Every structure is written in C-alpha cells, then in structure tokens.
C-alpha cells in the first residue's frame, strides 16, 4: 500500500510537468505574448510536483520508521531527520527562515506537528505495507545481508504500464523507488521550482510582440527582430522536468535510455533557444552530437545486457501469488559476503543468479553465465552514455558551449540536474559495475576534475567559469563513485546541485543586472549594487570551495560532500597504493577549485569597477529573482549538516548497493583491486593518529584555504600585477585559454578527416559515379537515336508499304466498279464459266 501511495505521488509529480508542457506549447500559441500565464502554469506544475515528492519522502520514511537514519548505531539522528523534512517540505513554500538557526526545542515541536500531519496523510498503517507484498515490493538484499533492523520495506519496484512484448522482450514503463529516487525527486523538483521562479524574472524581456536580439545579425547588419518566446521557454522547461523525473523514476534501463534521450532533446532545444544566433545553434548541435557519441556506447551496453540477462528491469517482478516472476538485473549478479562475484569455477564466467542468489539454470541443466569481459563491456557501454551526458573526459567540450542557452537553463539543465543524470545512472546501475569499470570511472573522473578546474582558472566569461567548475565537480562525483564511495559521490551530487544552481542563478542575476554583460573583466565592485546576489553568491562560493572552521562542525554543504569524496579516495589509495593519483589530484584540485571560485567572486563583486558604463547601469534584480536565490542559498549552506553522520547522507545511502554496504570486509577481486573497508575509513588508525576521513578532510581544507588565500591576494588586493603574471605564464595561459586544445584536437582528429573524406567522396561522386551515370545517359541517347532511325525507316516503312499496296490495289479495283448491272452479270457468267472450266480441267472424271 505504501508502494502504491509512493508510486501515485511520484507519478503525479512526474506527469504534471508533461501536462503543463502540453498546455503551454499549444495554449501559448493562441495566447498573447505579454502573458505570464505559461510561467505560472509551469511553476504550479513543478511546485505541486515538489509537494508530492516531499510528501512521498515523508510517507516513505514513516513507513519504514526512518530506518535509513538509524543505520550504523547512530540512532539519535531520528529527530534530526524529522526536522529535515519539515525543512524540506516547507522550505520551498515559506523558504526564508532557516530552521537550523532556531532553538532546538522549537524544531522538535514543529517536527512533531508535521509528522502527525504526515501520518494522517497515510491511510494505511506502515505495518500493513509489509504484509501487503502482493505488489512487486521487496526488501533489497542490502538490508537483509547487513542484518540490520528494518521496520519496513525501503525499495519498491513494479510496472506502471506494459508497452509491448516482443517474444521474450518486455518493454514496459516501470518504477523503482528507493531512498536515492526519493531524494533525487525532492531535489530536482525543489531546484526546478526555484529556477522556474527565477526564470520568470530573467526571461521577462521575452514578454513582447517584437523582441530585438542584439546578438543575432541579419546579412544587412541589422539585428534580428522576432516575436517573444516566453511561453515556449517555459514549455521546454516543463518538458525537461518531465523527462528528468521520468529518468529518475525509471524502473528499467531501457526506460532510462528513453528519458535519457528526452532530456537530451530538451537540452538541445534550450541551448538553441536563441536559435537565430549562429553560436547558439552550433552549441546545440555540438551538445546533441557529442551526446550521441556516448549514447552509442549506451546502446551497446543495452544489447549486451539484453542478450545475456534477457531483461532490462532493475528490480524483480512478482507474480500474483508473491513468487518471483522475473528476477531483476540487480539480483542477477550476485556477490558473496566478501564482495566477490559468483563465478563458474571452470570457465571463470560470471554466473547469473535468481532473486535468492542461486544460479539460474538453462534448459539443459547448465547454469546461465555471462563472460566476465562482456560484463565489463556492458558496464563501460553504460558508462560511455554517462560520459556524454555528464560531460566527462573525453566528451566534455560540449558543456561550456552549452552556456549559450539562457542562464536559468544553464542552472537547471547544465549544472544541477541533467548533467548529474550521468552520475545518477552510475549510482543507480552500481550493482552491475565490476572493478575494471569502476577503476575506469575513477580515472575518467580524476582526469576530468583536474582538467576542467585548470581551464576554469583562466576563463573570463562568468558562465564559462561556472561551466568548467560544473565539469570539475561532476568529475569529483565520478571519482567518488569509482573508488567505492557510492554514498560520497551521490552526496556530492545533491549538494552540488544546490550550490551550483545557486551560483548559476546568481550569475544570471548579475548578467540580468548588467544588461547581458558576461565578461568578468568588465565587472568589479558589484557587491554595493547587488548585495543580495553578491552575498548569496558568496554562500555558494564558500560551499563549493569546501571551506569550514577547523575543529567545529560549522561548515557549508560542499565541505561535507567533498570531504566524503576525498576520504573515499584516500581510503582507496591506502588500500591500493598504486593508484595514488586518485587521491592527490582531487586534493590539488580542491585548492584550484577554491582559487577559481574566489577569483570569480572577487573579480565580479569586489574591487574597483573596471567598466564605468556597466557599473552605472547595473541594478539589483527584482524580488522574483532574489527570493529563489535566498531559498537556494539556505539549502546550499545547510542541506548537508552533519556530514556523513547527517540526515542527507544517511537518506541517500539508505539503500546503497549490497556489496559496498558497511560491514563487508575488503576482498581481493580479479583485477587485484582491494576494496577499502568502509569501517576503516572512519575508525581511528591503529597508530593512534587521525582516521582516514579526518586526515583527508584536513588536507582538503588546507588546500581550499590555500586556494582561497591565493585568490584573495591576486584578485582581492592589488599587491600583484596580474598582467605581468599573465605574461610570464603566457604559455600555460594560452594553453588553458584554448581549453587544453581539445576543440583543436577533435577538429584535427574527426572534423578535418571527415572533411577530407567528404571531399574524397564528393570527388568520387562527381567524377566516377556521375561519369558513369552521364555515360549511361549518353549511351541511352545514342541507342534511342538508332532505335528511332530503325523505327522510322524499317518498321514504319514496312507498314506504310503494306498500306500503300492495299491502297493501290483498292484504287485499281475501283475502276472495275462501273455501276453497270449488265457488265456485272457478264463478269458473273464469265466467272462461272471459268470456274467450271477450271473444275473440269483440274478434276477430270
């Protein structure tokens, strides 16, 4: 029953934006261009979706007694959990007061009231849900194997609608609801609501019958004049929300793929929103095409999965009597208590198991198996899709160009949610990844985070800096996931979504206030002009830099999540010293991150105004844009309170994959990677020093402070002449300004060769194929000329001759026809006599 309630709530949250999209795109066409109705409709849809998601989270927590928060003997966090939900479900609506700043007693009082209300929402007591397992609900293996007290189910999966059945292949719309789904739903809907509100202010200059696009020029040098497209923007945003929520809710990998493509097309439409600008349409194409490259790998992964597992579903499906009808993908790859895969002793192939961990048998009694290397291929294939979507190395170049879209789009699609979908999928699909794939993920993340951070250091476009920082942070998430820090990576995903959307909206506010000026060298000293934007931006900057006051629990969200990632990396490196780069690169990059983020902030908000014109015309944004900033800044600062002992982390990791759950001893895998023991990361080391976690946190904090300090010295004060520094480092500077020459590299590797090949093909076409065709045509003409001669002379001649002969015979017979009756009689007589003569002479007696 809880499962159905959750399913229905999330489905409402999922489908409302689709309904909104339909109304906006068709209704907006007939409405007036000055109407804000479409925006309010979109806000209403996504806001209602947020309420549904938040209440679903509360219902889910109530039904299992907040089991996720009680794990690992930290039972005293239950109250904080309630508090968080009070915060979650009302933060968006009221949103200005931070509950954490109020005294604890008040907090508890409020949470009691709220949970009572939530209980009323539940029509069925939680205990019933456990018994009502007829639908497709199973406790995931994690809870069973970890042997912890579970007061209710936490994972719900099932089929919403069966699309089609092709032989054994069933295509259906499924749902898979666990703690990660619910947290993602709440996060996406909350951020999307804030961004919708912000966009209403940001896009207001589209509310006109004739919009003049100053960045798009016609061939005669004039600006492009076009009707405003306010309603269309919000329709696209709604469609995007629908696709993103569908991706999160999806219960099978094929459905994920469908919505994956749908968010891709939304991204395409939104990047190319100013489609008259050449740069925008190019960027949209680039994003779409680079994503297709990754999706090709995704498709290969899907094929491998389908061939060997025969299903796309994550969770098991259940028959009416409660027995397992079809084991889900996650049950089919079984790991023992040491985290090892169940393999065939003779061949080394991985054995495919049923829901209870026993090998599935084929018709001939043999166990079903999949070759190990194909499991690697499937994992790498799916990860290739994630590389494209999350802009990881080597497909990272599309994301900075995607900043051509309006800033709310950058905030929602290209930093907070869609690009995080790749990370989400890695997290969701984690049970299927083997060690080699995870190592690849870790190294790809490691390369990406360093490369993007270095480019961000020299970028001058305020949005480009944020774009590279997004790529870099996504690299952190991938790294975290790759080094077995499942919770850490996804934790960073959630906190990053909040502070990055906040910073993008702040940059949007700056751009709006400065009349679409994006170059930081023309800004400076804007804090006086836009205090709210500046201060909320500072919150985001501190959060992403991971600053904290040492020795106290006072820290913003980014500190906790980045700490978790770096700690996971350090744990991994301690267990596998050969992969030391996986720790040192992110540590160094933590410092670079702090540097470039503070550089951005100092550049924009502090110092002397560099462009008098921009400064004079700059103004603070209206309330509809600043209120979302305030709401998001509260979340950016406090959503991760408590770090890995806090509510958010525990909620996310409530249903973490079985084989990385705490309590599993590190084991050797086929590839020689040692799994770090999750306990050992947090426990103090034997030598009595700091725990791995504390060590990593201290190093990261040091790096962040160093980065921030350097940024302050360089950009906050006037101690150093920046031009001299730039000239001395001109080689490195130009290398970074050219984005490590990746665009040139891809130009040389793919574009030029394809142009050359295209030219060759054109030449072959023009000379050989066209030559053959022309020759054939000419031959045909010659043949038909001959044919014509033959026709005219021989065939026609014969026919004419016949006709002429017939005519002349007839003509000569005409003279016999005299009209004289007596003559005719004579002819008859002569004829008869002649006949007789012939008869008698021929046939004599």
* Only segment of 339-347, 355-363, 612-620, 815-823 that touches other proteins (CB under 8 A): 815-823
Provide the sign of the torsion angle of the four alpha carbons 574, 491, 340, 70, taken in this order: positive
**Contact flag: residue 608 with other proteins (CB under 8 A):** no
Q: For residues 284 and 746, what is the distance between their CA atoms, to the nearest angstrom?
A: 17
* Only segment of 326-334, 447-455, 608-616, 808-816 that touches other proteins (CB under 8 A): 808-816
| Run of H or E residues at 522 | none
Least distance from other proteins to the Cβ atom of residue 823, Å: 8
**Contact flag: residue 826 with other proteins (CB under 8 A):** yes
Q: For residues 559 and 568, what is the distance between their CA atoms, to the nearest angstrom?
A: 14
CB of 684 or CB of 831, closer to other proteins: 831
CB of 554 or CB of 833, closer to other proteins: 833
* Only segment of 189-197, 261-269, 616-624, 812-820 that touches other proteins (CB under 8 A): 812-820
CB of 790 or CB of 827, closer to other proteins: 827
Least distance from other proteins to the Cβ atom of residue 795, Å: 32
CB of 608 or CB of 820, closer to other proteins: 820
The 3-class secondary structure across 248-308, one letter per residue, is HHECEHHHHHHHHHHHHHHHHHHHCCCCCCHHHHHHHHHHHHHHHHHHHHHHHHHHHHHHH
**Contact flag: residue 817 with other proteins (CB under 8 A):** yes
Least distance from other proteins to the Cβ atom of residue 800, Å: 24
CB of 96 or CB of 814, closer to other proteins: 814
Least distance from other proteins to the Cβ atom of residue 840, Å: 15
CB of 73 or CB of 810, closer to other proteins: 810
* Only segment of 301-309, 595-603, 768-776, 824-832 that touches other proteins (CB under 8 A): 824-832
CB of 762 or CB of 825, closer to other proteins: 825
CB of 125 or CB of 826, closer to other proteins: 826
CB of 782 or CB of 837, closer to other proteins: 837
Least distance from other proteins to the Cβ atom of residue 813, Å: 7
CB of 749 or CB of 833, closer to other proteins: 833
**Contact flag: residue 723 with other proteins (CB under 8 A):** no
For residue 160, which phi and psi values (nearest 5 degrees)?
-85, -45
* Only segment of 385-393, 686-694, 775-783, 818-826 that touches other proteins (CB under 8 A): 818-826
**Contact flag: residue 821 with other proteins (CB under 8 A):** yes
Q: For residues 63 and 532, what is the distance between their CA atoms, to the nearest angstrom?
A: 40
Least distance from other proteins to the Cβ atom of residue 830, Å: 10
* Only segment of 418-426, 473-481, 538-546, 810-818 that touches other proteins (CB under 8 A): 810-818
| Run of H or E residues at 20 | helix 2-30
* Residue-by-residue DSSP string for 476-507: HHHHHHHTT-HHHHHHHHHHHHHHHHHHHHHH
Buried b (16+ CB within 10 A) or exposed e, 796-812: eeeeeeeeeeeeeeeee
**Contact flag: residue 120 with other proteins (CB under 8 A):** no
| Residues near 20 by beta carbon (within 8 Å), at least 6 away in sequence | 41, 42, 44, 45, 46, 235, 238
Residues 759-798 as x/- pattern, contact with other proteins by CB under 8 A: ----------------------------------------
For residue 136, which phi and psi values (nearest 5 degrees)?
45, 30
H-only helix segments in 546-580: 557-575
* Residue-by-residue DSSP string for 452-478: HHHHHHH--BHHHHHHHHHHHHHHHHH
Considering just the CA atoms, what is the radius of gyration of the chain in Å? Answer: 37
* Only segment of 10-18, 404-412, 786-794, 807-815 that touches other proteins (CB under 8 A): 807-815
Q: For residues 733 and 723, what is the distance between their CA atoms, to the nearest angstrom?
A: 11
Query: Which of 414, 418, 508 is closest to 468 using CA atoms?
Result: 414
Least distance from other proteins to the Cβ atom of residue 801, Å: 23
User: What does the block give as tokens for 339?
Assistant: 């985290």
Of 345, 813, 842, 845, the one binding other proteins by CB under 8 A = 813
Q: For residues 320 and 373, what is the distance between their CA atoms, to the nearest angstrom?
A: 37
| Residues near 257 by beta carbon (within 8 Å), at least 6 away in sequence | 295, 298, 299, 302, 385
CB of 612 or CB of 820, closer to other proteins: 820
Of 346, 822, 844, 845, the one binding other proteins by CB under 8 A = 822
Least distance from other proteins to the Cβ atom of residue 825, Å: 4
Of 120, 608, 814, 845, the one binding other proteins by CB under 8 A = 814
Q: For residues 509 and 496, what is the distance between their CA atoms, to the nearest angstrom?
A: 19
CB of 101 or CB of 815, closer to other proteins: 815
CB of 102 or CB of 808, closer to other proteins: 808
The 3-class secondary structure across 118-162, one letter per residue, is HHHHCCCCHHHHHHCCCCCECCCHHHHHHCCCCCCCCCEEEEEEE
In contact, 149 and 17? CB cutoff 8 Å: no
User: What does the block give as tokens for 465?
Assistant: 């800096």
Q: For residues 494 and 488, what is the distance between their CA atoms, to the nearest angstrom?
A: 10
Straight-line distance from the first to the last Cα atom of the chain, in angstroms, rounded to the nearest whole number: 121
Least distance from other proteins to the Cβ atom of residue 817, Å: 3
**β-strand pairing of 169-177 with 350-351:** unpaired
Q: For residues 265 and 250, what is the distance between their CA atoms, to the nearest angstrom?
A: 18
Of 737, 757, 829, 839, the one binding other proteins by CB under 8 A = 829
CB of 769 or CB of 824, closer to other proteins: 824
Least distance from other proteins to the Cβ atom of residue 802, Å: 22
Least distance from other proteins to the Cβ atom of residue 807, Å: 14
* 435-458 and 462-482 helices, crossing angle to 10°: 160
CB of 683 or CB of 825, closer to other proteins: 825
CB of 167 or CB of 819, closer to other proteins: 819
Residues 48-77 as x/- pattern, contact with other proteins by CB under 8 A: ------------------------------
**Contact flag: residue 820 with other proteins (CB under 8 A):** yes
Q: How many residues bind other proteins (CB under 8 A)?
A: 13
In contact, 466 and 410? CB cutoff 8 Å: yes
Of 815, 841, 842, 844, the one binding other proteins by CB under 8 A = 815
Of 93, 728, 818, 839, the one binding other proteins by CB under 8 A = 818
**Contact flag: residue 837 with other proteins (CB under 8 A):** no
| Residues near 6 by beta carbon (within 8 Å), at least 6 away in sequence | 56, 59, 60, 156, 177, 182
**Contact flag: residue 816 with other proteins (CB under 8 A):** yes
Least distance from other proteins to the Cβ atom of residue 837, Å: 15
CB of 745 or CB of 825, closer to other proteins: 825
Least distance from other proteins to the Cβ atom of residue 816, Å: 7
Query: Which of 455, 725, 477 is closest to 595 using CA atoms?
Result: 455
CB of 608 or CB of 814, closer to other proteins: 814
* Only segment of 205-213, 327-335, 410-418, 813-821 that touches other proteins (CB under 8 A): 813-821
Q: For residues 110 and 120, what is the distance between their CA atoms, to the nearest angstrom?
A: 16
- Using a 10 angstrom Cβ sphere, with 0-12 exposed, 13-18 middle and 19 or more buried, the burial of residue 305 is buried
Least distance from other proteins to the Cβ atom of residue 786, Å: 43
* Only segment of 41-49, 323-331, 752-760, 825-833 that touches other proteins (CB under 8 A): 825-833
* Binding stretches for other proteins (CB under 8 A): 813-822, 825-826, 829
């Amino acid at each position: 029953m809880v499962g159905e309630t959750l399913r229905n709530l999330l489905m409402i949250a999922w489908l409302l934006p689709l309904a909104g999209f339909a109304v906006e795109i068709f209704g907006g066409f007939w409405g007036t261009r000055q109407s804000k109705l479409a925006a309010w409709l979109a806000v209403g849809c996504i806001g209602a979706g947020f309420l549904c998601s938040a209440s679903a989270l509360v219902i889910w927590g109530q039904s299992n007694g907040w089991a996720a928060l009680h794990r690992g003997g930290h039972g005293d966090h239950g109250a904080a959990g309630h508090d968080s939900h009070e915060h979650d479900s009302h933060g968006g609506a009221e949103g200005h007061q931070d509950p954490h700043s109020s005294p604890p007693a008040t907090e508890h009082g409020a949470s009691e009231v709220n949970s009572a209300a939530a209980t009323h929402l539940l029509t069925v007591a939680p205990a019933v849900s456990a018994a009502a397992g007829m639908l497709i609900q199973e406790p995931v293996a994690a809870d069973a194997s970890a042997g912890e007290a579970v007061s209710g189910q936490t994972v719900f999966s099932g089929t919403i609608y069966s699309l089609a059945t092709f032989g054994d292949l069933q295509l259906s719309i499924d749902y898979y609801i666990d703690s990660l789904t619910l947290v993602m739903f709440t996060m996406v809907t909350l951020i999307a609501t804030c961004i919708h509100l912000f966009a209403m202010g940001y896009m207001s200059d589209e509310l006109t019958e004739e919009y003049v696009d100053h960045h798009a020029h016609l061939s005669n040098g004039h600006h492009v004049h076009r009707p405003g497209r306010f309603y269309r923007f919000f329709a696209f945003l709604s469609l995007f929300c629908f696709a993103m929520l569908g991706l999160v809710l999806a219960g099978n990998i094929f459905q994920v793929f469908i919505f994956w493509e749908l968010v891709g097309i939304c991204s395409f439409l939104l990047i190319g929103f100013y489609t008259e600008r050449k740069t925008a349409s190019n960027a949209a194409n680039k994003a779409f095409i680079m994503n297709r490259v990754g999706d090709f790998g995704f498709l290969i992964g899907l094929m491998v999965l389908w061939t060997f597992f025969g299903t796309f579903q994550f969770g098991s499906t259940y028959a009416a009597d409660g027995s397992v009808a079809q084991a889900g993908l996650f049950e089919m790859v079984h790991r023992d208590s040491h985290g090892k895969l169940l393999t065939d002793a003779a061949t080394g192939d991985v054995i495919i198991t049923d829901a209870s961990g026993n090998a599935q048998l084929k018709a001939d009694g043999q166990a079903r198996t999949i070759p190990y290397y194909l499991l690697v291929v499937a994992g790498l294939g799916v990860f290739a899709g994630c590389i494209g979507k999350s802009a990881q190395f080597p497909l990272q170049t599309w994301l900075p160009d995607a900043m051509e879209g309006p800033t709310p789009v950058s905030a929602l699609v290209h930093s907070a949610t869609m690009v995080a979908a790749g990370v989400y999928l890695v997290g969701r699909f984690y049970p299927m990844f083997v060690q080699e794939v995870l190592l690849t993920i870790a190294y790809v993340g490691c390369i990406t985070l360093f490369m993007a951070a270095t480019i961000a250091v020299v970028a001058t476009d305020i949005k480009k800096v944020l774009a590279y920082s997004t790529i870099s942070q996504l690299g952190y998430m991938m790294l975290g996931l790759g080094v077995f820090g499942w919770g850490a990576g996804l934790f960073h995903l959630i906190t990053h979504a909040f502070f990055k959307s906040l910073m993008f909206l702040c940059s949007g506010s700056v751009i709006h206030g400065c009349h679409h000026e994006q170059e930081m060298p023309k800004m400076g000293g804007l804090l006086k002009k836009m205090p709210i934007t500046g201060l909320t931006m500072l919150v985001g900057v501190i959060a992403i830099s991971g600053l904290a006051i040492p020795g106290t629990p006072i820290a913003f969200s980014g500190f906790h999540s980045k700490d978790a990632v770096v700690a996971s990396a350090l744990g991994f490196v301690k267990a596998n010293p050969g992969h030391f780069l996986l720790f040192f690169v992110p540590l160094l990059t933590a410092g670079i991150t702090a540097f470039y983020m503070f550089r951005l902030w100092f550049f924009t908000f502090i110092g002397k105004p560099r462009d008098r014109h921009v400064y004079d015309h700059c103004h603070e944004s209206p309330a509809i844009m600043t209120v979302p900033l305030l709401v998001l800044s509260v979340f950016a600062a406090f959503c991760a309170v408590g770090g890995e002992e806090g509510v958010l982390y525990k909620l996310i990791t409530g249903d973490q994959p079985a084989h990385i759950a705490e309590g599993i001893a590190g084991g050797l895998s086929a590839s020689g990677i040692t799994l770090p023991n999750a306990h050992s990361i947090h426990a103090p080391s034997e030598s009595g020093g700091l725990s791995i976690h504390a060590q990593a946190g201290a190093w990261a904090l040091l790096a962040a402070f160093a980065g921030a300090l350097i940024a302050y010295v360089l950009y906050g004060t006037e101690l150093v002449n920046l031009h001299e520094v730039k000239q001395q480092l001109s080689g490195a500077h130009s290398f970074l300004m050219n984005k490590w020459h990746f665009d040139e590299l891809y130009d040389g590797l793919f574009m030029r060769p394809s142009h050359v090949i295209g030219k060759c093909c054109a030449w072959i076409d023009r000379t050989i194929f066209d030559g053959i065709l022309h020759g054939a045509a000419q031959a045909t003409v010659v043949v038909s000329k001959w044919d014509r001669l033959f026709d005219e002379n021989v065939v026609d001649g014969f026919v004419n001759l016949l006709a002429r002969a017939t005519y002349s015979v007839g003509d000569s017979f005409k003279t016999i026809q005299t009209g004289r009756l007596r003559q005719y009689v004579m002819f008859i007589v002569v004829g008869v006599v002649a006949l007789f003569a012939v008869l008698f002479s021929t046939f004599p007696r």
